[in-house]
Amino acid sequence: MKQSIEARADISENAEKVLESLLEAGRPFIYTPLMKGGSDRAFFRASAPGSDISVVLCRSDNREEMEYYVHLNSFFHRKGVAVPEFLYSSLDEGLVIMEDAGNCSLYDAVRETWDDGGTVEHYTAVLERLIALQRLKWSGDDWIARRPFDYQTLRWETSYFLERFLGGVMGYDLSRDEALLSDFHRLAESVALEQPFAMHRDFQSQNIFIRGSALYFLDFQGARTGPLFYDTASLLMDPYVHHGRKTRDELFARYCIMAESAGLVSGGAERLREQYARASMQRLMQALGAFGFLGLVKGKRAFLQHIRPALSLLLETVREHREFPKLTDTVKKAHDDAADRDDIP
């Protein structure tokens, strides 16, 4: 989360009393807006003059999303997952006050300070914490189980890609292309058949924060149960940070060793690579749909700069796993056409 200018957070008298206790200081407090990617939620860092203590406030009018956010935090925190502790929450106010995860995301750290060797070591630590999340057990009463990452969700992602990226960004009319729709169906069907595990759902470098020796996973309100390799693909096939192929392959190999040791996977390397590839296709198509929606519909045009790296990663993946010929041809055309577009940075 990057700091912006100081401002006033519109919170209740009761919430400010909570802040007095948490910050161990009296009013007035300093509220500093934090810029948070594509989210419609508002984030503020709250502090007091002369105090070293700070917390983060999240405001949202989306009650359903906030309800999942609060209950999933309780589940994860109880299970020891690396999420910030929620110190106060009110669904009526649309407000959460949480532990401060700091200013340094994994994205910032990779871009600013790490070489390839440092990146591998730091990502290995993140993968270890991811496996701890993936090993979680849940019951039918737990909120993480309420929205399974099933066939319908997987097809929603590829429909999002079809509408918001292929249509909205590239201008292709493929909504009735039976060969492409068949590839989407077969991809979703194969991923949906995999054993479900606990998943974050948006496990990429801008949602992982580093403060001192601690790691924090943010934006987990979409967490659910689903395919093991989706979060792994989100982290390693990340258009934001452009890892080289050698680095990605080394990290994936390390992940497989750790996952097998944890009892999460079994079987040969070829089978695991195929599952990872299919999850990567799903994730990258979802990301491209999001870049189109955020860039063109929401007017956050900075997201358009991630289209070319996402297309390169997707093209690499579909070319190596030739199960989906129409999807491969479509991605190749989009990749080549995007290279000639001045409006795609």
Q: What is the DSSP string of 73-107?
A: HHHHHHHT-S-PPEEEEETTTTEEEEE---SEEHH
Give the model confidence (pLDDT) of 278-296 as tens digits. 999 999 999 999 999 999 9
Give the model confidence (pLDDT) of 62-83 as tens digits. 999 999 999 999 999 999 999 9
* 18 residue type, one letter: V
How far is Cα of residue 308 from the mean position of the Cα atoms in its chain?
Answer: 19
CA angle 232, 237, 242 (to 5 degrees): 140
To the nearest 10°, the Cα dihedral for 2, 208, 156, 172? 60
Please tell me the distance from the alpha carbon of residue 211 to that of residue 36, in angstroms, as a whole number: 17
Please tell me the distance from the alpha carbon of residue 133 to that of residue 155, in angstroms, as a whole number: 25
Crossing angle of the two packed helices 269-292 and 178-192, in degrees rounded to 10:
120
Contacts 24+ apart (CB under 8 A), 176-182: 177/326, 179/325, 179/326, 180/326, 180/327, 180/330, 182/326
**What pLDDT is stored for residue 6 in this prediction?**
41
**Integer-rounded Cα radius of gyration of the chain:** 21
Please tell me the distance from the alpha carbon of residue 57 to that of residue 158, in angstroms, as a whole number: 33
**What pLDDT is stored for residue 203 in this prediction?**
98
CATH topology of domain 104-339: Aminoglycoside 3'-phosphotransferase; Chain: A, domain 2 (3.90.1200)
pLDDT at 8 over 90: no
pLDDT-derived band of residue 114, with 50, 70 and 90 as boundaries? low
- Mean pLDDT of the region 120-143: 95
Backbone angles phi, psi at 239, to 5 degrees: -65, -20
pLDDT-derived band of residue 3, with 50, 70 and 90 as boundaries? very low
CB-based contact 161:186 (threshold 8 Å):
no
Please tell me the distance from the alpha carbon of residue 146 to that of residue 64, in angstroms, as a whole number: 13
**Residue 57: closest CA among 45, 69, 65:** 45
* 142 residue type, one letter: D
**Residue 276: closest CA among 235, 247, 306, 246:** 235
For the chain, domain boundaries: 2-99, 104-339
Architecture of the domain spanning 2-99? 2-Layer Sandwich (3.30)
- Mean pLDDT of the region 6-33: 84
Please tell me the distance from the alpha carbon of residue 330 to that of residue 18, in angstroms, as a whole number: 54
CB-based contact 224:260 (threshold 8 Å):
no
Least confident of 16-25, 28-37, 188-197, 243-252: 28-37
To the nearest 10°, the Cα dihedral for 101, 106, 108, 110? 150
Q: Please report which helix (H) or strand (E) contains residue 193, including its range.
A: none
How far is Cα of residue 27 from the mean position of the Cα atoms in its chain?
Answer: 35
Residues 6 or more apart whose Cβ sits within 8 Å of residue 43: 1, 33, 34, 36, 56, 57, 58, 59
**What pLDDT is stored for residue 80 in this prediction?**
95
How far is Cα of residue 99 from the mean position of the Cα atoms in its chain?
Answer: 20
Least confident of 61-75, 111-125, 195-209, 331-345: 111-125
**What pLDDT is stored for residue 1 in this prediction?**
44
- Mean pLDDT of the region 75-98: 96
Backbone angles phi, psi at 134, to 5 degrees: -65, -20
Most confident of 29-38, 67-76, 117-126, 258-267: 67-76
CB-based contact 200:231 (threshold 8 Å):
yes
